[in-house]
Amino acid sequence: MSSKVSLKQTLTLFQVVYLGLAWMTPMIYFSIYGIAYQTSEGMLTQSYLLAFVAIFFTAYSYGIMSKTFSASGSAYTYVKQSMHPYLGFLVGWALLLDYLFSPLIACLTFGIFIHAQFPSIPAAVPILLLNGVLAIIAIIGINFSAQISKVVIWAQMIFIGAFCLFLFRNLAGGLPDHLHLLQPLVQTDVPFSTIVAGASIICFSFLGFDSVTTMAEETIQPEKTIPRAIMIIIIVASILYITPSYLTQLALPQVTFIDIDSAGFEIVKLVGGAALSAVFITVLIMAIFTQGLSSVTTVSRLLFVMGRDATLPPRVFGHLHPKFKTPTMNIILVSLFSLLALVISLDTAVKFVNFGALSAFTFVNLSVIAQRYIKDRQRSLKQTFLYLVFPLTGAGFIGWLLSLLDHTALYTGLIWVLLGAAYHYLKTRTPQLAKLKPMRQADSTRT
């Protein structure tokens, strides 16, 4: 009997953590600083705290579902198995919007900051360069990606620590008379609705934790490793985001930017001068590189699982390279899609990612209820809190943030979902598409 196409199971706990943090990219704090600052009207600390609360409940639900279903596929697999295959397809299709735009954002951010530092270099040049390099390394294999990610994650954490030390130095002379230490946490000058709107954008900074669930089939003991990795990633990220936000609001309660897209570079230069800004560019280049690499890995695995299941055409999406055992065709297609970085704005790309991610997060919370509370009938008092109250709270938080995205993002996201529904309809009604079969080992080795 032939076996299903499978990936190599080699990743350890900390390799998964590094890959997740690489996808999340702690330096994304600076990449979206301007958009987040503008949307929250400067209330970054409160917005980050609110986003953390919303994401924490969802991370808990991802942990539960990764124990229940250890196959790769993330929200697509969880909703498909616990609720309904068609709903799983739509959630996976929505999640593709998140995962497809993430490598694009890495390339776009790379171009923006290189051009900001070296105005004579057109943004298109670093965008094309990074896109090609990411494709080549992603094809080579995931272990190589994990080794690179480890070094760069530590470089990012050290830089954020140095940034915080510069902020401490700026605060050494004491706070202005109208400020106090709790000001960033209790400030009420800005409406709560504005802080929530900021949190809906800031959720983008936490998105890396869910990417590790697409690597379950390449992870040793995934039912234990993936949930632990998720919680480590969330806790580390929250410290790396909330600490500089709090200190920046104390040291620089009011600030204006020349260019919102490169506001992170401006704030670093304002806090640490030319020396720190030069280091910033170096670390950011490394961070964007690993974020792009991890996101290409993630989306190519999701496409692979959907191809292997024949949800997408398996001859293309379910193919593995015979030597590297990586989904080569998916990586090439993702790289072609990332060329949109040449024509799209960072603000628009971030909103597309948030629509896909928040939609998937909502249904992962609901899948816990469907699987554990309804199907498995785990309904003791403790289980009611764990498998009904907690995930329902997470779904409510995330659904609320989703509704706060601007109309353009919501309408475009809904159009994307409708396109997926149309594809599924044609697939089930068209004889040639309906005959697609899941990939088997023999199929994967054909060229």
What is 13-444's CATH number? 1.20.1740.10
pLDDT tens digits for range 17-75: 888 888 788 988 888 888 888 888 888 999 999 889 888 999 999 989 988 887 665 78
Mean pLDDT in residue range 308-322: 85
Q: How confident is the model at residue 254 (pLDDT cuts 50, 70, 90)?
A: confident
- pLDDT, residue 57, reads 92
302-305's contacts with Cβ under 8 Å and 24+ in sequence apart are 302/72, 302/73, 302/74, 302/76, 302/92, 302/95, 302/96, 302/99, 302/214, 303/96, 303/327, 303/330, 303/333, 303/334, 304/7, 304/72, 304/330, 305/71, 305/72, 305/73, 305/76, 305/77, 305/214
Between CA 361 and CA 359 the distance in angstroms is: 5
Q: Tell whether the model's pLDDT for residue 324 goes beyond 70.
A: yes
Between CA 302 and CA 99 the distance in angstroms is: 9
* Chain Cα centroid distance, residue 365: 17
> Which residues partner with 219 through β-bridges?
11
> Residue 58's closest CA among 429, 440, 357, 447?
357
Ramachandran sector of residue 25 (left: φ over 0; alpha: ψ -120 to 50; beta: rest): left
Residues in the chain, overall count: 447
Q: Name the token pair of 107.
A: 């390339």
Between CA 89 and CA 101 the distance in angstroms is: 18
Between CA 345 and CA 353 the distance in angstroms is: 13
> Residue 393's closest CA among 422, 421, 417, 369?
369
Between CA 248 and CA 168 the distance in angstroms is: 9
Q: Name the token pair of 103.
A: 């490598």
pLDDT tens digits for range 345-377: 877 887 778 788 889 899 999 999 999 999 999
Q: Name the token pair of 166.
A: 């510069």
Between CA 59 and CA 49 the distance in angstroms is: 15
- Angle among Cα 365, 370, 372 to the nearest 5 degrees reads 90
Query: Would you kindly state where each structural domain of the chain is located, as residue ranges?
Result: 13-444
Between CA 371 and CA 64 the distance in angstroms is: 10
- Angle among Cα 301, 65, 60 to the nearest 5 degrees reads 110
Q: How confident is the model at residue 129 (pLDDT cuts 50, 70, 90)?
A: very high
Q: How confident is the model at residue 440 (pLDDT cuts 50, 70, 90)?
A: low
Q: How confident is the model at residue 313 (pLDDT cuts 50, 70, 90)?
A: confident
pLDDT tens digits for range 174-194: 666 556 677 777 776 788 888
pLDDT tens digits for range 374-420: 999 999 999 999 999 999 999 998 888 888 777 888 888 899 999 99
- pLDDT, residue 2, reads 42
Q: Give the Cβ contact number of residue 438 at 10 Å.
A: 14
Q: Is 431 exposed, middle or buried (0-12, 13-18, 19+ CB in 10 A)?
A: exposed
> Residue 241's closest CA among 420, 48, 89?
48
* Chain Cα centroid distance, residue 228: 18
CB of 287 within 8 A of CB of 149?
no
Which alpha helices (H) appear in 172-262, and where do they start and end? 183-186, 192-202, 208-211, 222-251
- pLDDT, residue 432, reads 58
Q: Tell whether the model's pLDDT for residue 274 goes beyond 80.
A: yes
- pLDDT, residue 8, reads 66
- Angle among Cα 314, 344, 405 to the nearest 5 degrees reads 85
Mean pLDDT in residue range 130-156: 83
Q: Give the Cβ contact number of residue 281 at 10 Å.
A: 16
φ, ψ of residue 440 in degrees (nearest 5): -115, 170
